[in-house]
Structure 1
Amino acid sequence: MGPTMQGSRQPVATTLTSTRPWAPVSSRIASKSPALPRAMQDGRGCSAGRSLMQTKTNFRGFPARAIGAPDPGVRGGGRHRSLPAVTEVGAGMVRSGGKSPWVLLDLDGTVLDYDRAEREAVLATLAGVGLPADGDMVARYRQVNARHWSALERGATTAARLRTERWAELLAETVPERTGDIDLGALASAYVANLAAGAYLLPAAAEVVAELAGTHRIAYITNGLADVQRPRLAATSLADLGEVLIISDEVGAAKPAAAIFEAALSAMGEPDPRTVTMVGDSLSADIAGGRAIGFPTVWVARAQQPDPTDPALRPDRRITAIGELPGVLRG
């Protein structure tokens, strides 16, 4: 995340409202100051130079900076719709809500096709510096990357370290002779740009979330880098259907830590956790974290995955495709 910001300035939340229900937000921006997780109150988790100060904008209410704006280094960046920078992680996106229950959706592996986006990004990044770009290198990268993300979830590393250290480890394992002539920072930035362009939905995701939006309020929560997740979500139809987006990179805590779920609850207006259904594909991040905070949980499992034996990882419901979710929520 970079150096910790100093000071005790309280972020000012921005709530976007509309003159008519479920309409694109354009009428006004109203400010208020809700209770925030302590990690957000004292500035932890904010990268150096990235405050949560308010910026006026004229499009969706995704929180924080440069939400979907084209990045000069992002392949196909011109196709990303410009989204606004507002003050607080998790501020309202597009729609004013009623009293409907919430669905809190994980992104990658639940509604977004991360496997495809990652594969294309790894191949493009490796090819860009003249390294072997093939399936074996993708597999090796995924092994290394999984270790680093696991460390992040345990609090043993930071997003800033993860960006470069996963590439340093991959190069050391596969092409040690090239480690001295490759700029890790540039390599990591190229990968983030390539990955940010991979906005692919999983089958039926768009239809399912659109259906749920008629009966539930939609929020998204993701362990990821803001520079990657914002443009990916912004380039899909899901951006128009949600009200809250929570990214670990911005909160300073990753699922399953309580702080990221507390940030989500704060952004949703402090609903009873029992009215918020957490839906995700990771037992350790989505299900364990959701259960600990008091959410009902739905696990989107791969068909061959066995049911967990650890009670802390046991979901309330199991599905094997996102298309089953509306039926589960209807009971």
Structure 2
Amino acid sequence: MAYYTCLLLDVDNTLLDFDAAERAAITDTLEHYGLPHDLEAVQTYHRVNRQLWDSLAKGELNRNKLFAIRFSRVMQALGLPDSGNGREMNEYYEKELSNHADLIPGALNALEELGEVATLAIVSNGATMVQQPRIEASGIGRFMDGVYISEKVGAAKPSAKLFDYCLKDLGLSNRSRVLVVGDDLLADIKGGVNAGLDTCWVNFRNEENKTDVHPKFTVQSYEELYRIVMEPEELENVGVRNRRHTNDI
């Protein structure tokens, strides 16, 4: 039996390459509105967007506010006049983003391996209209026993309420066998800690942890995640299909 028999997985930059999707979507959006869409503009958007999502994780603003002010903040950062159609731009951007389901290399194989030994579920803060098409198009959804998007549940990471809802819906009670896996320290990892769950920081870029949030585990590859989740006997059987796992929790 695996050390962890349930994995609660983030989507963006954990399974899907959000950075690639973001670059394509914001470039298309800025070009559509006749705005600069060079590398500097894309990087500016990324910086502003990251700051807003960090503020969301800290409870400093809500999702509606984030979507309402995002492009106004971008225009300000680019030194451009605010045209007053930030909401419209945001909707266009989200539609474009939903069309990009770029997989992180090895993600599907990792889910196939992990799904042999554990229950898998998605826990995402992304917008429903963005995440659902990407989950379906990428093929990751077929490995999941549940897909939980904060907008639908009514609670967002790092709130423990989102994880509590997931575990209740999955019928799981022993939190010691559940592992939260994600790339965002302030949302995924802090959320797992808040819910009393073990956490694994997916740090594919080998970034420095500059926060006061401390994951139980850190991995830089899916193979490292196998060694955290699987017992030695299961590791020896990586690649063997139709193994059966039980949720003895």
The TM-score with structure 2 as length reference comes to 0.85
Deviations 1:224-274 (Å, cap 9, x if unpaired)? 111111111011221111011111222232211111111211221133111
Q: Distance in 1 between matches of 2:94 and 2:205?
A: 30
Q: Counterpart in 2 of 1:262?
A: 164
Name the CA distance, whole Å, in 1 between partners of 2:57 and 2:130: 18
Residues in 2 aligned to 1:168 and 1:317: alpha-carbon distance in whole angstroms: 38
Extract unaligned runs of 5+ from structure 2.
232-249
Contact persistence 2:117–2:230 (CA under 8 A): no
Q: 1:186 aligns with which of 65, 68, 88?
A: 88
Cα separation, 2, equivalents of 1:107 and 1:256: 15
Count of aligned residue pairs for this structure pair: 228
Matched, 1:118 2:22: yes
Q: Does 1:151 align with 2:51?
A: no
Q: How does 1:1-331 map to 2 (within 5 A)?
A: 101-177=5-81, 179-180=82-83, 183-306=85-208, 310=212, 313-331=213-231
In the TM superposition, what is the alpha-carbon distance from 1:185 to its structure 2 partner? 2.3
What CA RMSD, in Å, does the superposition of the two structures yield over aligned residues?
Answer: 1.8
**C-alpha displacement at 1:117, in angstroms?**
0.2
1:235 aligns to what SS in structure 2?
Answer: helix
Q: CA separation of 1:183/1:292 partners in 2, compared to 1, >3 Å: closer, same or farther?
A: closer
Q: CA deviation at 1:309?
A: 7.8
Q: TM-score with structure 1 length normalisation? A: 0.65
Deviations 1:270-293 (A, max 9, x none): 331111111111222222221232
Q: Deviations over 1:39-93 (max 9, x none)?
A: xxxxxxxxxxxxxxxxxxxxxxxxxxxxxxxxxxxxxxxxxxxxxxxxxxxxxxx
Whole-angstrom distance in 2 between the partners of 1:328 and 1:303? 19
Contact kept? 2:70, 2:86, Cα under 8 Å: no
CA positional deviation for 1:305: 2.4
Contact kept in structure 1, 2:201 and 2:219, CA below 8 Å = yes
Conserved in 2, the CA contact under 8 Å of 1:110 and 1:300? yes
Q: Return the letter of the residue paired with 1:254.
A: A
Distance, in Å, in 1 between the alignment partners of 2:113 and 2:9 is 14
Distance in 2 of aligned mates of 1:273 and 1:211 = 22
Structure 1 residue 306, shift from structure 2 partner: 3.5
- Alpha-carbon offset, residue 164 of structure 1: 2.7
Q: Which has the higher contact order (CA 8 A, sep 6+)?
A: 2
1:200-244 deviation line (CA, Å, top 9, x unaligned): 110110000011111111101111111111111011221111011
Q: Secondary structure at the match of 1:176?
A: coil
Distance in 2 separating the partners of 1:295 and 1:169: 35
Q: Which amino acid aligns with 1:136?
A: E
Higher helix proportion, which one?
2
**Percent identity (aligned):** 32
